[in-house]
Chain A
Amino acid sequence: MGALTLTSIEKTYPNGHRAVKGLSLDIEPGEFVVLVGPSGCGKSTILRSIAGLESLTGGEIHIGDRRVDTEPPAKRDIAMVFQNYALYPHMTVYKNLAYGLKNRGVEATEIDRKVREAADLLQINDYLDRKPQQLSGGQRQRVAMGRAIVRDPQLFLFDEPLSNLDAKLRAHMRLEIKKLQRKLSATSIFVTHDQVEAMTLADRIVVLNGGEIEQVGTPRDVYHRPASLFVASFMGAPAMNFFSTRVDGGDLVLTDGQRLTLPAEQRPALNGVTDITLGVRPEQIAVTETVRDGLVTFDVGMGEELGVSQLLHGQVADAEVVLNLPKFERHDEPQLGLSWPEDAWHLFDSRSGQRL
Chain B
Amino acid sequence: MTKDHWSDHLILIVGVLFLLTPLWLLFASSTHSVDTLIREGLQWLPGGEGLAPYGQALTTASGFTDTATGLRMLINSMIMGVGFAVGKIIVSMAAAYALVYFRFPLATFLFWAIFCTLLLPLEVRIVPSYEVVSDLNLLNSYTGLIVPLIASATATFYFRQFYKTVPNELLEAATLDNAGPWRFFKDILVPLSRTMMAAIFIIMFVVGWNQYLWPLIMTTEEGYYTIVMGLKHILSVVREGRVPEYNVAFALVILAMLPPVAVVVLFQRWFIQGLVESEK
Which positions in A face B, CB cutoff 8 Å? Answer: 51-53, 72-74, 78-80, 82-84, 86-91, 99-100, 103-104, 131, 133, 147
| Other-chain residue from B172, B188, B194, B277 in contact with A88 (beta carbon distance below 8 A) | B188
13 A-B pairs (CB sep. < 8 Å): A52-B175, A53-B175, A73-B176, A80-B172, A80-B173, A86-B170, A88-B170, A88-B173, A88-B187, A90-B188, A90-B194, A103-B183, A131-B279
A90 to B173, alpha carbons, bound, how many Å? 14
Contact between chains at A78 and B176 (CB < 8 Å) = yes
By secondary structure, the B interface counts as: helix
A316 to B133, alpha carbons, bound, how many Å? 87
Known: A82-B169, A84-B167. A90 touches B179 (CB 8 A): no
Interface flag for B192 (CB, 8 Å)? yes
Chain B neighbourhood of A89, CB < 8 A: 192, 279-280
A246 to B94, alpha carbons, bound, how many Å? 69
Interface flag for B177 (CB, 8 Å)? yes
A83 to B167, alpha carbons, bound, how many Å? 12
Contact between chains at A83 and B169 (CB < 8 Å) = yes
Contact between chains at B177 and A99 (CB < 8 Å) = yes
Chain A neighbourhood of B173, CB < 8 A: 80, 82, 86-88, 147
A100 to B180, alpha carbons, bound, how many Å? 11
Contact between chains at B179 and A53 (CB < 8 Å) = no
| Interface residue count on the B side (C-beta < 8 Å) | 20
| Other-chain residue from B172, B187, B192, B277 in contact with A53 (beta carbon distance below 8 A) | B172
Residue of A nearest to B177 (CB): A100
Across chains A and B, the number of contacting residue pairs, with CB separation under 8 Å, is 60
Contact between chains at B175 and A73 (CB < 8 Å) = yes
Contact between chains at A51 and B179 (CB < 8 Å) = no
A82 to B279, alpha carbons, bound, how many Å? 18
Chain B neighbourhood of A100, CB < 8 A: 176-178
Contact between chains at B178 and A104 (CB < 8 Å) = yes
Residues 174-208 of B at the A interface (beta carbon under 8 Å) = 174-179, 183, 187-188, 191-192, 194
Which positions in B face A, CB cutoff 8 Å? Answer: 167, 169-170, 172-179, 183, 187-188, 191-192, 194, 277, 279-280
Chain A neighbourhood of B279, CB < 8 A: 89-90, 131, 133
Chain A neighbourhood of B179, CB < 8 A: 99, 103
A91 to B277, alpha carbons, bound, how many Å? 14
A80 to B170, alpha carbons, bound, how many Å? 12
A80 to B172, alpha carbons, bound, how many Å? 9
Minimum distance in angstroms from A83 CB to a CB of chain B: 7
Contact between chains at B188 and A86 (CB < 8 Å) = no
- Given A84-B167, A87-B173, A90-B194, 6 more contacts at CB 8 Å? A79-B176, A80-B173, A89-B192, A89-B279, A100-B176, A103-B183
Residue of B nearest to A90 (CB): B191
Chain A neighbourhood of B169, CB < 8 A: 82-84, 86
Residue of A nearest to B193 (CB): A90
| Other-chain residue from A80, A84, A87, A88 in contact with B176 (beta carbon distance below 8 A) | A80
A91 to B192, alpha carbons, bound, how many Å? 10
Minimum distance in angstroms from A105 CB to a CB of chain B: 9
A104 to B174, alpha carbons, bound, how many Å? 12
Chain B neighbourhood of A78, CB < 8 A: 176
A86 to B188, alpha carbons, bound, how many Å? 12
Chain B neighbourhood of A53, CB < 8 A: 172, 175
Known: A82-B169, A84-B169. A74 touches B176 (CB 8 A): yes
A89 to B183, alpha carbons, bound, how many Å? 16
